[in-house]
Every structure is written in structure tokens, then in C-alpha cells.
């Protein structure tokens, strides 16, 4: 889910180590567009707190640009976009479903399950490679194999917004304390 196409997956293989060395994790990578005016969209975060500010985006963009210029893995011209996954972020790794346990999400499967592909509900954790999900209108918690999930995204709620504000406040406090001690 971090990449959709074979080309996306090859780029992830090239760029994951670059992001890791720079102190970031790639959440999602998409190479979009046709032969002309392609766009390489990378959503990333700091593994330590899941945050990504403008300076982080610029730093990671420079690191990725160096490797992309040297390796030249994309034929033709493209635009590189590095961004935060945002508050209502995509869930692309199994660990994301654990991190955001208790939050409302939408999940789309690559196959039918109980006659449908799309579900909305509350994330209830992870159990042996399966996502536990309290589907709206259902009594029991569903266990969905992670490999069946083609798309997943958090739904913007007051609780999620509060969590985002708390993460930013903690980061700002940490940065302020570092500046004071320097």
C-alpha cells in the first residue's frame, strides 16, 4: 500500500534507505501522470513522533533529489513533492493500524468480504498480521488480513485533531528545550 505500481515499489526500494539515513520514514509514494508532466509524491514522517514540518520536507526533498539525480530512475521530466501525511493520513503500514488504534478509519479491500469492499469503523489494533476493526453497524470486531487492504485512511474527527495538536505541542516543547540547552 505504500506504493501501488511496480515502478512505485522500485522507487521505494531506492529511496527508503535515503529517507532512513535522513531520519524519516516514507509513508506513501506515488508516481502519477503519463509520459509528460509526471509527479513523484512522497509522504513522509519522523519515526520518533510521526510529525513532519516544512523544514523536514525541504531536508528530505534535498536528500531524495541528490539520489534521484544520480540514479535517474524516472524517464523524462517529473516534479518531486515531499509532504506530511497530514492529520487524516493514509494508513499504509501494519504499524499504522496499531498506532492509531481507537480512531475512526475507512478501509477498502482488494476483494469482496461479506459482499462489499469498503468499510468504515474504529481501528481496534493488530493481531498476527490482521487488522482488528470495529465496523460501523456490526457487533463483533472483524479481523481483516493486512494483505487484503488496498487503501486505508483516517477519518478527520475532533479526537484525531486533538491528537495532532498534542503531537505538535510536544514537538514544539522539545525544540524549545533543545534551544534553551544549546
The pLDDT of residue 91 is 97
pLDDT, mean over the chain = 93
C-alpha cell belonging to residue 18? 535515503
Residue 177 has pLDDT above 90, yes or no: no
Question: pTM surpassing 0.85?
Answer: yes
Q: Greater confidence, 179 or 57?
A: 57
For the stretch 52-81, pLDDT in tens is 999 999 999 999 999 999 999 998 889 999
Nearest residue to 7 via CA among 96, 66, 78: 78
For the stretch 27-57, pLDDT in tens is 999 999 877 789 999 999 999 888 899 999 9
The pLDDT of residue 168 is 81
* 8: confidence class by pLDDT, cuts 50, 70, 90: very high
Residue 144 has pLDDT above 80, yes or no: yes
* 132: confidence class by pLDDT, cuts 50, 70, 90: very high
- Give the CA dihedral 71, 72, 78, 83, nearest 10 degrees: 0
The pLDDT of residue 181 is 81
For the sheet with 104-113, list strands across it. Answer: 142-145, 130-135, 116-127, 104-113, 149-154
The pLDDT of residue 150 is 96
CA 135 distance to own-chain centroid: 22
* 93: confidence class by pLDDT, cuts 50, 70, 90: very high
Amino acid at each position: 500500500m505504500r506504493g501501488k505500481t511496480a515502478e512505485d515499489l522500485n522507487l521505494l526500494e531506492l529511496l527508503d534507505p535515503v529517507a532512513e539515513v535522513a531520519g524519516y520514514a516514507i509513508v506513501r509514494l506515488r508516481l502519477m501522470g503519463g509520459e509528460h508532466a509526471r509527479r513523484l509524491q512522497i509522504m513522509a514522517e519522523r519515526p520518533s513522533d510521526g510529525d513532519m514540518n516544512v523544514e523536514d520536507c525541504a531536508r528530505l526533498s534535498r536528500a531524495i533529489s541528490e539520489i534521484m539525480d544520480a540514479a535517474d530512475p524516472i524517464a523524462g521530466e517529473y516534479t518531486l513533492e515531499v509532504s506530511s501525511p497530514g492529520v487524516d493520513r493514509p494508513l499504509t503500514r501494519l504499524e499504522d493500524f496499531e498506532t492509531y488504534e481507537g480512531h475512526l478509519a475507512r478501509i477498502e479491500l482488494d476483494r469482496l468480504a461479506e459482499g462489499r469492499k469498503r468499510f468504515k469503523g474504529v481501528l481496534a489494533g493488530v493481531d498476527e498480521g490482521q487488522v482488528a476493526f470495529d465496523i460501523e453497524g456490526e457487533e463483533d470486531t472483524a479481523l481483516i488480513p493486512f494483505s487484503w487492504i488496498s487503501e486505508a485512511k483516517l477519518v478527520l474527527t475532533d479526537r484525531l485533531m486533538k491528537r495532532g495538536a498534542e503531537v505538535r505541542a510536544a514537538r514544539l516543547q522539545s525544540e524549545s528545550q533543545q534551544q534553551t540547552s544549546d
